[in-house]
Amino acid sequence: MNSRSDLEIPGQVTPKGGLSHAAIAQAFSAPAFILLIATVVAPVFVVLLISLTDYRLGRLTLNFIGLGNYARMLADPFFWGALRNSAIYTAVVVPVSVFGALCLAVLLDSRRRSRRFYEIVYFLPVTSTLTAMSIVWSYLLNGHIGPLASLFSTLGLPPLDFFADGTLALIGLAIIGIWHLIGFNLILFLAGLTVISGELKEASALDGMDGFWDRLRYLTWPLLAPTTIVVFVLSCIQAFQVFDTVAVLTNGGPYGATEMLLHKINTDTFTGLKAGYGSALTVVYLILIGAFSLVQVAVGNRKAHF
């Protein structure tokens, strides 16, 4: 039996004068911690400081104006319009992409031979370049050329040009967002379905729960609650970060109908050179993302069974 002096206690220096386990762990984690501080934490503090100034890109001087940029933001109708469009876009894209992916995952989970094929097909939009695919979608949803125009012409209906109509442009962007997100959510739900044993499915079938919607409501979805929380939070963040399709297809138009918060931040900061005001918009954007995610996780944890 080893004596007490021969035992190494975690967190203390070894008898031979080597480093403790805690010191070794800190040494290995130090590069990642320094990288996190340099690339995430420090830039946030810099943006916060710049938001309190009137700094413009290219100018060598700046003045401290306190909360002036935030007061200007509250009086800016374009900010409220961008915030409203981002909220509407998120409210449309997230529920459809999450619930659609859940239904597809349940259907694909029962397949064996063709499952891999459908997984690849649905995941292709995630791997594709959204900027390039936006050009394809602009052709598909064009009201004068493309398959949609031909379909409406055949049916004798008036053409619908999604990205030229202020009332339809946001719907067109939402269609692209759902198409892009549903494959990513599908893979996450399929991974979550692996924890549901076949015995539970057989037992539910013996109890009379053999319908698709009954099994989804009373068995699958409750057991997928932790996965649903993750998928919902990630989908909200990605939807609120929409930028590529806006910059390529509409540039915020027509008449501000598709102006999103992230696109406005980019426009005011790098096109208008108003770095101070753009930094204030960025701070508000980060606060909204963080608060929204915390609320979703807090609410979801109350109803989820881990």
- The whole-number pLDDT of residue 208 equals 65
pLDDT at 248 > cutoff 60: yes
Model confidence at 15, pLDDT cuts 50, 70, 90, reads very low
Lowest mean pLDDT among 76-85, 201-210, 260-269: 201-210
Cα distance between residue 132 and residue 134, in whole Å = 5
**Which of residues 292 and 94 earns the better pLDDT score?**
94
pLDDT at 133 over 50: yes
Q: What is the CATH number of the domain that holds 255?
A: 1.10.3720.10
206 within some domain: yes
Whole-model pTM: value is 0.83
Residue written as token pair 């984690």: 29
Average pLDDT, the chain: 83
Say yes or no to pLDDT of 262 above 60. yes
Residue 216 included in any domain: yes
* pLDDT level of residue 1 (50, 70, 90 thresholds): very low
* Strand partners of residue 64: 53
The pLDDT confidence band at residue 151, using thresholds 50, 70 and 90, is confident
Question: Residue 177: inside a domain, yes or no?
Answer: yes
> Is the pLDDT reported for residue 279 higher than 90?
yes
Instruction: Please check the confidence at residue 113 and state whether its pLDDT lies above 70.
Output: yes
Q: How high is the pLDDT of residue 132?
A: 85
More confident position, 99 or 3: 99
> According to the model, what pLDDT value does residue 297 have?
73
Is 274 part of a structural domain of the chain?
no
Q: Cβ distance 126 to 184 under 8 Å?
A: yes
Determine the pLDDT at residue 204.
Answer: 66
* Statement: residue 284 has pLDDT above 90: yes
Name all contacts of 271-277 with Cβ < 8 Å and 24+ positions apart.
Answer: 273/56, 273/57, 273/58, 274/56, 275/50, 275/55, 275/56, 275/57, 276/50, 276/51, 276/52, 276/53, 276/54, 276/55, 276/56, 276/62, 276/65, 276/69, 277/69, 277/72, 277/73
Indicate if the pLDDT at residue 115 is higher than 90: no
Q: According to the model, what pLDDT value does residue 185 have?
A: 93
Q: Is residue 254 part of a domain?
A: yes
Of residues 85 and 305, the one with the higher pLDDT is: 85
The SS3 call for residue 20 is: coil
Highest mean pLDDT among 33-47, 123-137, 148-162, 201-215: 33-47
Domain count, the chain: 1
Least confident residue range of 84-98, 101-115, 162-176, 197-211: 197-211
- Point out the least confidently predicted range of 62-66, 110-114, 183-187, 198-202: 198-202
Domain-located, residue 10: no
Q: Is residue 145 part of a domain?
A: yes
Residue 241 within a domain: yes
Domain that holds residue 186: 83-259
